Amino acid sequence: MARPTRGAAIPFSSIKFSELIGSLSFALDLTEGQPAGHCVRSCWIGTHIGRRLGLDDTALWELYYTLLLKDLGCSSNAARICELYLTDDLGFKHDFKRVDGSLRRVLEFVVGHTGPGLGLVERVRAVGRILRHGDAFAQELIETRCQRGAEIARRLRFSEAVAEGIHALDEHWDGGGRPDRLAGETIPLYARIALLSQVVDVFHTAGDARAALDEARRRAGSWFDPKLVAVLETLADDRPFWDMLASQEVDRAVFALAPGRREVALDEDYMDEIAAAFGYVVDAKSPYTAGHSTRVALYTDMLAAELGLDAARRRWLRRGALLHDVGKLGVSNAILDKPGKLDDDEWAAVRQHAELSEAILSRIPAFGELASVAAAHHERLDGKGYPR
């Protein structure tokens, strides 16, 4: 992409809305500790289920974006997970995705993931506290995530149906989910499809199609709507479906799959709102970064004004400032919130966040220069910065 000249407006008319949101969803994969493309793959699965259900274009469009953005609120409970469980939030979230909710599996998970770096006495105390208050802690964590996710979806101008689908992601068919203990068809359809889709992706990525289908069958009637599992079963022998799910090209396939309900106009104001919303996702990860991206955007704009840059260029720079730290979602809060000095491995993880920001933003063709700016925001004039 050619470097824009000073004052040049950045053209967004060529960006597809599905491509923009889908590309930014890779940031949400980071904060859940999931392999890159988890939200996109969940969208591939869930949209096919929606099509086989015979949903109309409006419902398919809403389902599609519920799936891509299902994890919008996940950064908001990361610091609290580290505080309560005394562990790495990314590994915790990654591994918890495979826990089926049975008492035995939950107890095994708690014992194995609480205070792994502590001495025996400290670990026993920490595990005991979780066992005494675990239900309240789980409710708090999921409630925070669901409420923040729905709130950000509304900021992004999505319908209440999409916001409600994100809010109810962790509800279970048998009423054993959270945050509202909804059951059966009182759970929004988009949420029911999203929960099934994400579990299928987790088990397919870790194993294969058979492992994913077996897990869906095991949880039918408890976690999952049995009718949706039956629809998933109709895809069991669809080899192209599973091959694409495992393909490096699945993101392109998902972007092409976007329902044609309407063309979303990506005007300048909407681009500002999207950048601000994802900046909010980043800043919610740690109490030490609350409001950071917004402040950086303000200072950037003030400096740009002093340098005589025109309004279009200043607007472009504000967006870059809002998104510059998106890669920080891939750094554990055990590191970000550590009160003492970082060791070499921890410092290496922190340094990686600039490269992660670049990798995410470079997925969007019109963000090419923004990606380069994000990659270099810790470089120094004396050459002692990072990552390069």
pLDDT tens digits along 162-215: 999 999 999 999 999 999 999 999 999 999 999 999 999 999 999 999 999 999
For residue 127, the tally of other CB atoms under 10 A from its CB is 21
For residue 157, the tally of other CB atoms under 10 A from its CB is 12
In the predicted model, is pLDDT for residue 7 greater than 70? no
Domain chopping of the chain, boundaries: 17-256, 268-375
In the predicted model, is pLDDT for residue 217 greater than 70? yes
Q: Which of 14-23, 86-95, 141-150, 227-236 has the lowest mean pLDDT?
A: 14-23
Q: Is 362 helix (H, G, I), strand (E, B) or coil?
A: coil
In the predicted model, is pLDDT for residue 46 greater than 50? yes
Assess whether 328 carries a catalytic annotation.
Answer: yes
Cα–Cα distance between 217 and 381 in angstroms, integer?
58
pLDDT in tens, 185-194: 999 999 999 9
Check if the beta carbon of residue 325 is closer than 8 Å to that of residue 285: no
Confidence of residue 260 (pLDDT cuts 50, 70, 90): confident
**Which pLDDT score is estimated for 12?**
60
Q: Work out the average pLDDT over 289-295.
A: 94
User: Identical fold at 17-256 and 268-375?
Assistant: yes
**Which pLDDT score is estimated for 9?**
44
Tell me which DSSP letter residue 376 carries: T
Confidence of residue 265 (pLDDT cuts 50, 70, 90): confident
The enclosing H or E element of 25 equals: helix 17-31
In the predicted model, is pLDDT for residue 298 greater than 90? yes
Q: Which of 12-16, 250-254, 354-358 has the lowest mean pLDDT?
A: 12-16
What the block records as the tokens of 276 is 């601000």
Q: What is the mean pLDDT of the chain?
A: 94
**Which pLDDT score is estimated for 366?**
85
CB-count exposure of residue 372 (10 Å: 0-12, 13-18, 19+): middle
Check if the beta carbon of residue 92 is closer than 8 Å to that of residue 33: yes
| 17-256 is a CATH 1.25.10.10 domain | no
Check if the beta carbon of residue 344 is closer than 8 Å to that of residue 324: no
What phi-psi label fits residue 92: left (phi over 0), alpha (psi between -120 and 50 degrees) or beta?
A: alpha
What the block records as the tokens of 194 is 């999203």
Catalytic residue (choose from 70, 93, 285, 328): 328
Q: Report the percent of the chain where pLDDT is more than 90.
A: 90
Cα–Cα distance between 386 and 377 in angstroms, integer?
8
Check if the beta carbon of residue 179 is closer than 8 Å to that of residue 11: no
**Which pLDDT score is estimated for 264?**
84
Confidence of residue 239 (pLDDT cuts 50, 70, 90): very high
In the predicted model, is pLDDT for residue 11 greater than 90? no
pLDDT in tens, 108-120: 999 999 999 999 9
In the predicted model, is pLDDT for residue 284 greater than 60? yes
Confidence of residue 15 (pLDDT cuts 50, 70, 90): confident
Q: Is 281 helix (H, G, I), strand (E, B) or coil?
A: helix
Q: Work out the average pLDDT over 98-104.
A: 91
Burial code (b: 16+ CB inside 10 Å, e: under 16) for 309-348 equals beeebbbbbbbbbbbbbbbbbbbbbbbbbeeeeeeeebee
What the block records as the tokens of 379 is 């470089």
**Which pLDDT score is estimated for 112?**
95
Alpha helix ranges (H) inside 237-267? 239-245, 250-256
pLDDT in tens, 313-324: 999 999 999 999
Confidence of residue 101 (pLDDT cuts 50, 70, 90): confident
Classify domain 268-375 by CATH architecture.
Answer: Orthogonal Bundle (1.10)
Cα–Cα distance between 164 and 156 in angstroms, integer?
14
What is the end-to-end Cα distance of the chain in Å, rounded? 21
Check if the beta carbon of residue 281 is closer than 8 Å to that of residue 329: yes
